[in-house]
Structure 1
Amino acid sequence: MLYPELFKQLEAVRWNMDTDIPWDRFDASQLSDEQAQTIKMNAITEWAALPATEMFLRDNKDDSDFSAFMSVWFFEEQKHSLVLMEYLKRFRPDLVPTEQELHDVRFDFDPAPALETLMLHFCGEIRLNHWYRRAAEWHTEPVIKAIYETLARDEARHGGAYLRYMRRAMQKFGDEAKAAFAKVGVLMASARRTAQALHPTNLHVSEKLFPRDTIQSRLPDPEWLEQWLDKQIQFDAVWENKVVERILHNLSLLMERSFSTVQELNRFRKEMSQRVAAATPGAAQPTA
């Protein structure tokens, strides 16, 4: 089991909201209304760990190890929402999210293949780590800069934990896991070709609620994310390339095969899909 070891590792570096956040360094002159609004939106977005955890537990009923790890992931992700709300409570109480605004992002996700979902969230942690690092650079107020730096480190550790479960899945499911991880990796490393940010909170997950079936679509300002990325923290091609490089680097280590471009990863995806199809009696050979 991975959960006991991961629990100890994450427990050892867990930060304390009262003593590890430099609340006494707050400088009101360095916090604009525009910046404060983005903190509110991120606080609500982080609250979406609640429906994501419900999804993980539902779709991984046969995996008690991973489900137990969700207790740690869920705690730390909800803590992210809480510290952002605590910041607003202290310094911009007029912007603290209401309970209804938080509840609005809780809805049932459609069932999805567990392997693909695992890879999706691994990539999401990498992306969020880079978003928060960029947010820390964009903000000018010292306390919120420190908070975003703290959250970014958490997201990196979560990505590392997901990677451990991906490696375990490959030992158990072989080419099926490799094909699933490569498939989602190609998608998540191709964000520069899409009109929207590729992150779990911005993907459609409930057919019956479409088009309001993404976390971002249920925020008080559904257009916020693109504005935050493009106009505010300016998550440009340089930063996007950092995300792609980390995804490809980690998959290279995981698969023990070098992927320097998305195209190389896509060729590997096709290779694995063909091997899975060949090993499945009566399955059609993939052509794409």
Structure 2
Amino acid sequence: MLYPELFKQLESVRWDMDKDIPWSQFDGSLLSDEQAQTIKMNAITEWAALPATEMFLRDNRDDSDFSAFMSIWFFEEQKHSLVLMEYLKRFRPDLVPTEQELHEIRFEFEPAPALETLMLHFCGEIRLNHWYRRASEWHTEPVIKHIYQTLSQDEARHGGAYLRYMKRAVNKFGSEAKAAFAKIGVLMASARRTAQALHPTNLHVNKDLFPRDTIQSRLPDPEWLEHWLDKQIKFDLQWENKVIERILHNMSLLMNRSFKSVQELNRYRKEMLAAMQQPADATPSPA
């Protein structure tokens, strides 16, 4: 089991909201209304760990090890929402999300293949790590800069934990896991070719609720995410390339094969699909 080791590892670096956040360094002259509004939206999107955890537990009922790890991931992700709300509570109480605003993004995700969902959230952690690093640079108020840097480090650790479970899946399921991971890797590393950044917050997850079937669509301002990325933290092509490079680097380590481009990863995906078909194709037809 990976859970006991991951618990010990993440417990050893867990930060304390009272002791490790430099609240006394707050400088109100360096926090604009525009910046404060983005903190509120991030606090709400982080609350989406709640429906995501419900999805993970439902779709991984046969995997008690991974389900136990969710206790760590859920705790730390909800803590992200909490620390952002604590910041607002202390310094901009008018912007603290209401319970109803938080509850709006708790809705049921449709069942999906567990391996693909694992890879999706692994890529999501990489992307969020980079988003929060950029947010820390964009903000001017020192306490929130520190908070975003802290959150970005958590997201990187979560990505590392997901990668451990992906390695376990490759050893257990072989080509099936490799094909699933490569499929989502191609999708998530192709974001610069799409109209919007791809992340679990803006993917459609319940067709019966369309068009309100994404986390983003249920925010108080559904247009906020793209505006935050494009106009505020300016998550440009240079930063997007960093995300793509990290995805390809980790896929190279996982598959023990070098991927320099999304195209190479896609060719590998097709190879794995072909490998999965070979046993069936090799079976002689009955006379």
Taking structure 2 as the reference length, the TM-score comes to 0.97
Residue 167 of structure 2 is aligned to residue 167 of structure 1: yes
Distance 2:32 2:280 in 1: 58
How has the CA–CA distance of structure 1 residues 213 and 282 changed in structure 2, closer, same or farther, with 3 Å as cutoff? farther
Aligned to 1:120: 120
How has the CA–CA distance of structure 1 residues 40 and 282 changed in structure 2, closer, same or farther, with 3 Å as cutoff? farther
Aligned to 1:286: none
Aligned to 2:247: 247
Distance 1:281 1:90 in 2: 65
Q: Which runs of 5+ in 1 are unaligned?
A: 284-288
Matches within 5 A, 1:128-143: 128-143=128-143
Q: CA deviation at 1:178?
A: 0.2
1:125-160 superposed Cα distances (whole Å, 9 cap, x missing partner): 000000000000000000000000000000000000
Aligned to 1:81: 81
Matches within 5 A, 1:19-38: 19-38=19-38
SS in structure 2 of the partner of residue 279 of structure 1: helix
Matches within 5 A, 1:94-105: 94-105=94-105
Q: State the AA in 2 paired with 1:4.
A: P
Distance 1:57 1:113 in 2: 13
Q: CA deviation at 1:235?
A: 0.1
Residue identity (%):
83
Aligned to 2:258: 258
Matches within 5 A, 1:46-85: 46-85=46-85
Distance 2:46 2:2 in 1: 25
Distance 1:61 1:141 in 2: 43
Q: CA deviation at 1:278?
A: 2.2
Q: CA deviation at 1:281?
A: 6.4
Q: CA deviation at 1:196?
A: 1.3
Q: State the AA in 2 paired with 1:9.
A: Q
Aligned to 2:231: 231
Q: State the AA in 2 paired with 1:183.
A: K
Q: State the AA in 2 paired with 1:24.
A: S
Q: State the AA in 1 paired with 2:134.
A: R
Residue 91 of structure 2 is aligned to residue 91 of structure 1: yes
Residue 5 of structure 2 is aligned to residue 2 of structure 1: no
Distance 2:81 2:158 in 1: 16
Distance 2:125 2:161 in 1: 10
RMSD, aligned CA: 1.1
Aligned residues: 283
Q: State the AA in 2 paired with 1:151.
A: L
Distance 1:37 1:109 in 2: 27
Aligned to 2:267: 267
Distance 1:46 1:221 in 2: 15
1:134-190 superposed Cα distances (whole Å, 9 cap, x missing partner): 000000000000000000000000000000000000011000000000000000000
Distance 1:102 1:114 in 2: 26
Distance 1:18 1:56 in 2: 30
Distance 1:26 1:227 in 2: 26
SS in structure 1 of the partner of residue 238 of structure 2: helix
How has the CA–CA distance of structure 1 residues 40 and 276 changed in structure 2, closer, same or farther, with 3 Å as cutoff? same
Distance 2:5 2:160 in 1: 13
Aligned to 2:177: 177
SS in structure 2 of the partner of residue 106 of structure 1: coil
1:206-246 superposed Cα distances (whole Å, 9 cap, x missing partner): 01001110000000000000000000000000000000000
Q: CA deviation at 1:277?
A: 2.1
Q: State the AA in 2 paired with 1:38.
A: T
SS in structure 2 of the partner of residue 133 of structure 1: helix
Q: Which runs of 5+ in 2 are unaligned?
A: none
Aligned to 1:276: 276
